[in-house]
Amino acid sequence: MSATPQKNRATRRVLAAAAGLATVGALVAAMPAGAHDRGQGHGHKPRTVDVQLLSFNDLHGNLEPPAGSAGNVSETQPDGTVKAIPAGGVEYLATSLRNARKGNPYSVTAAGGDMVGASPLLSGLFHDEPTIEALNGLDLDVTAVGNHEFDEGAAELARLQNGGCHPVEGCYEKGKEFKGADFPYLAANVTKEKTGRPLLKPYTVWKKNGVKIGFIGVTLEGTPDIVTANGVKGLKFHDEVETINKYARELDRKGVKSIVALIHEGGAPASTSYNYDCDSPGAGDGISGPIVDIAKGITPKVDALVTGHTHQAYVCTVPDPSGQPRMVTSASSFGKLYTDTTLTYDRRTKDIVRTSVKSANHVVTRDQAKATDMTRLIDRWNKLAAPIASKPQGWISADINGRGSTAPEKPLGNVIADAQLEGLAPADKGGAEVAFMNPGGIRADLVHKASGSEGDGVVTYGEAFTVQPFTNMMNVVDLTGARLVTALQQQVSGSNAASPKILQVSKGLTYTLDLTKSGADRVVAGTIKLNGEAIDPARTYRVAMNEFLAGGGDGFAALGEGTNKLVGASDLDLFNAYLAAHSTAAAPLAPPATDRITVIQ
């Protein structure tokens, strides 16, 4: 982990050379030729051995290939154009990982959290047991917990780890008890409030033929801000850097010198193409966001960082506190990519030769053979889900993009907000005048092409569930006009200043978003109107939103200050009711106009 000045110079030379390369394999070997075989002959083992680290993150229970634009990865072509490649699905992920492992006797597979939670119906209906079963079949060795692993609380997370049938719904298959995860979930920075002890294992050590690599897993410290209060009840979330440094010292004392941190927090590369060189012009220049400061603070004892949460693809070298480059990777989401990193392990120092770390992201393409065991797993659970999943809820005339839309105002966001307003506007249902939807709660697109035998344009219960898988209960509350304005400003200020979270708004609410300004000023207060009338700061408005937002989630403290709360139906029920009321086979629902938020770039 420490390096001689000579090695540092070599590293700088390599970085200078690599900066001009448009390849993702950011660091090329800086060792002299043949160094990998040093010490061979005379009956000695080679001094160094290459360990393959395969990693992915943010699977979110996507066992089947994600539909529509949410299932594509962007690839920059040699001529500079960008191509969308359909990717993902565990049948293909299994094949990709198994092929990658061939010829690599030392191979370890790790994940960066959010393996489950916000999952499509096939997994979500069964409390994500199918996904844990699939991950066991993929030979996952270890994962960090993500924030979504806490969606159903600590007891349910413990069940996913240890097995046992669901406490309310029981066992899903006759005579079969859920076995739990074969791999450890690591949560070094999550402790129980009562005892102060870690909720799950903080780290694990992978061993093979004397090679030892420690893995420390943490989730983002801000998890309580983005998970419902029930999910994190009785838990404390600690600083990622302090926690990793503490356990790296502990591993070091135990003689484990090679360490990988699995961190459920990420960054934003300057390009969304998975093959973008984010070390251009200099190391780590092409990435921003929380992971940069985290990476710069983590002890040089840690040799590589596998990250997640932001659903982005990057392979970057961010300098550690000693100024040495260190690999920081993320593999998009939904199993669309995997990262292949080579860690050269020195048997004498028991450490990773940092200068020879190589890494690249690879697409999980859908033109390769499917893994038959995963096909069988999907078919088995699909049969159980079919009676519920295949029920038609409505009809659409074209794709209505949600997750796959990068615009501040998303067509599907408008549909969802309108559904919530319509369902909760009647006086006896809450008397809502306006509805807000958090963009992170929209988990997919509504896709026109049939996903099964239902026919094109039919929206099934399974598809609607995949869009809104949390089944949040809806709340209607009193908020003053002043608080409404503050809530809209919180989209682009405070904890949301760096990466804005633009609420999806129901019809009748209009305003201007000026992205040339900074902070709260980006929401032009004088332009906020409801049904053509300026918002009155002193007046009380009835506002509909899901329970997560009503609890002040996602940095919207102002929305958490509502009074006179009425609890309504679930977001999914309102969404399905709206589809039923506004579409028929002969008159399907068309994608709505996106004209509520005027954006100035």
Write down the pLDDT at residue 15: 34
**Please, where are the H alpha helices in 403-452?**
411-424
Reduced 3-state DSSP string for 39-85: CCECCECCCEEEEEEEEECCCCCCCCCCCHHHHEEEEECCCCCEEEE
Q: Could you give phi then psi for residue 371, rounded to 5 degrees?
A: -75, 120
Per-residue pLDDT, 420: 98
- Give me the pLDDT at residue 44, please: 72
Checking DSSP bridges between strand 107-111 and strand 48-56, what pairing results, if any? Answer: parallel
Mean pLDDT by 10 residues, the chain (601 residues): 37 34 38 41 77 98 95 97 98 98 98 98 98 98 98 97 97 96 98 97 97 98 93 97 98 98 97 96 94 98 98 97 96 98 98 94 98 98 96 98 95 98 97 98 96 95 97 96 98 95 98 97 97 98 97 96 96 98 98 98 95
pLDDT at 35: 41
CB count within 10 Å of CB 141 equals: 19
Encoding tokens for residue 365?
Answer: 């393409």
CA distance 460 to 580: 11
pLDDT value of residue 43 = 56
The DSSP call for residue 156 is H
d(CA 43, CA 114): 46
Residues 6+ apart with CB under 8 A from 487: 436, 479, 503, 556, 558, 559
Q: What is the pTM of this model?
A: 0.91
Q: What is the predicted pLDDT for the residue at 173? A: 95
Say which residues have a Cβ less than 8 Å from residue 214's Cβ, sequence separation at least 6.
203, 204, 205, 206, 248, 251, 256, 258, 259, 260
Give the residues across from 140 on adjacent strands.
Answer: none
Angle at 278 between CA 274 and CA 283, to 5 degrees: 150
Q: Is 361 left (phi over 0), alpha (psi -120 to 50) or beta?
A: beta
- How do 540-546 and 107-111 pair as beta strands? unpaired
